[in-house]
A and B are shown apart, each in its own frame.
Chain A
Amino acid sequence: MLAKRVIPCLDIDQGRVVKGVKFQEIRDAGDPVEVARRYDLQGADELVFLDITASHEDRPTLFKTVEAVAREIYIPLTVGGGVRTNADVRTLLSAGADKVAINTAAVQNPDFVTEAGSRYGVQCIVVAIDAKRAKPRKKGDPLRWEVFTHGGRKATGLDAIEWAAKMVAKGAGELLVTSMDRDGTKAGYDVELLRAISDAVTVPVVASGGVGTLEHLYEGLATGGADAVLAASIFHNGTHTVGEAKQYLAGRGVRVRL
């Protein structure tokens, strides 16, 4: 049977891995190829690169980084951040990315997901959803989440669960679901958000935002119903290796690739 996946996420700024707390105090954390190789050796199932470079003119730097990593690493690589056009998708895939994550551009034009999926295959189109808890419409209503774009700065008014279902109908092959409330807090995933989206769609869901402990990874999979767990700081800070995370999950009865 299919294994649950553990995916380290690397923030990339101008061709370097950086770590920041909620986009403040960004610190250089190394060469992407070296960091990717380290996670590959530790048994990472995939890697996600999130390009946070402010200027779109720096895109060639990202393409070079993706090329350099894809030459060395023989596991799947997803690249997100600033993916706006078919040309962006094509360039990233030919640089060696296996999947691209689309966020803001999907909100601006949902048909972009369909176009990109039919041209390059739905399996390489990931829709990234940044969601934040919203007030219920009226008292006693179920929990609600709102979709945000532009790195979590812009509210869209869209309901995250409805949006997730719509993106799958439009052809998303996978959803990367980040809780804006939890991102950077180390308080654990928003498992209610994950569960609500997992129950609403038939494609794989990747949990993101808030991991501080190995237990949180387990909760994302077991309680949240996610198919994969993404984490950044627990791996970057050396708190745990990917291998330790997978051993822990296996000990809790989760099927992982060891």
Chain B
Amino acid sequence: METIGVIDYGMGNLHSLAKSLERVAGDRRVEISSDVAQLSKYDKLVLPGVGGVRGCMEELKRLELVDFLRAAARRVPLLGVCLGMQVLLDHSEENGGVPALGLIPGDVIRFPDPLPEPGTERLKVPHMGWNRVKQSRPHPLWAGIDDDSWYYFVHSFHAAPQNAAHRLGETEYSHSFAAAVARDNIVGVQFHPEKSQGAGLRLLANFAAWNGELG
């Protein structure tokens, strides 16, 4: 039986993510752990995260998860969610600038504050609420999900992958930004699938069933 590991490094609310995964994982087990030895045994990994990137990277280092994640990302499907997606990139400009995992080339940058919206009201930061995601290309993660479906977002920074091929989904907020990224067996979503009703649960189910290959 396969096991999906949800990485617990003390940042935020991973229980709702784990519960949502359990609901859609079929006969796969879902386990929460912060222990490298334990996490090494799992068939798929989910990296959640809310909060600031500096605290996130410090905790990952303290738990010896940085090297583990870099190695694991070469062999098992890995899903980053929200801040867990942002740390997949090289660097974030949050908290004065913090180097991240470097699994997907590019930076994490802040929305301009306040955002100009021509002709109407200015936009708010954080980008908080429901917005649509345009699927940049077909991917097993999008299986059975309508293009331009609604997902729930809460964030002030967003990923800017260097390579356009690593953009998996795009969302409009003042400008089009990468709401989902992918590189080989690594995927990341800026929105919260566990809070996005049907489309979000389907995405988690797709990840649970994914073998890490494309198509």
A interface residues (Cβ-Cβ under 8 A, vs B): 1-5, 40, 45, 70-71, 74-76, 93-94, 96-98, 118-124, 173-174, 202-204, 225, 227-228, 257
Q: Which residues of chain B are within 8 angstroms of A98 by Cβ–Cβ distance?
A: 13, 16, 195
Whether the pair A70, B130 counts as a contact (CB closer than 8 A) is no
Q: A1-B173, A94-B13, A121-B51 are in contact. Are A257 and B130 (CB under 8 A)?
A: yes
Segment with Cβ contacts to A, from B36-44, B68-76, B149-157? B149-157
B89-121 to A contact mask, C-beta < 8 Å, 1/0: 000000000000000000000000110000001
Cα-based distance from A203 to B20 in the complex (angstroms) = 28
Residue of B123, B129, B152, B195 with highest tally of chain A CB at under 10 A: B129
Q: Which residues of chain A are within 8 angstroms of B156 by Cβ–Cβ distance?
A: 122-123
Q: A40-B197, A174-B128, A202-B124 are in contact. Are A124 and B50 (CB under 8 A)?
A: yes
Q: Known pairs A2-B130, A2-B173, A124-B50. 6 more at Cβ < 8 A?
A: A3-B130, A94-B13, A98-B16, A119-B51, A122-B156, A257-B150
Instruction: In the A-B complex, list the 7 residue pairs whose CB atoms are closest, starting with the nearest.
Output: A121-B51, A123-B154, A121-B50, A257-B130, A3-B130, A257-B150, A202-B114
Residue of A40, A93, A202 with highest tally of chain B CB at under 10 A: A202
Whether the pair B126, A74 counts as a contact (CB closer than 8 A) is no
> What class of interface size applies to chain B in its complex with A?
35 or more
Closest to B153 in A: A2
Return the contact of B131 from the options A2, A124, A228 (Cβ within 8 A). A2
B interface residues (Cβ-Cβ under 8 A, vs A): 11-13, 15-16, 19-20, 50-52, 55, 83, 113-114, 121-131, 150, 152-156, 172-173, 192, 194-197, 200-201
Whether the pair A228, B129 counts as a contact (CB closer than 8 A) is yes
CB distance from A197 to the nearest CB of B (A): 12
Q: Which residues of chain A are within 8 angstroms of B55 by Cβ–Cβ distance?
A: 118
Q: A98-B16, A174-B128 are in contact. Are A202 and B113 (CB under 8 A)?
A: yes
Q: A3-B131, A203-B125, A225-B121 are in contact. Are A118 and B52 (CB under 8 A)?
A: yes
Whether the pair A75, B129 counts as a contact (CB closer than 8 A) is no
CB distance from B93 to the nearest CB of A (A): 16
Return the contact of B152 from the options A75, A97, A173, A228 (Cβ within 8 A). A75
Whether the pair A227, B152 counts as a contact (CB closer than 8 A) is no
Return the contact of B129 from the options A3, A40, A96, A118 (Cβ within 8 A). A3
Whether the pair B195, A75 counts as a contact (CB closer than 8 A) is yes
Q: A74-B20, A74-B195, A123-B154 are in contact. Are A203 and B126 (CB under 8 A)?
A: yes
Cα-based distance from A123 to B195 in the complex (angstroms) = 14
Cα-based distance from A93 to B11 in the complex (angstroms) = 11
CB distance from B212 to the nearest CB of A (A): 25
CB distance from A170 to the nearest CB of B (A): 15
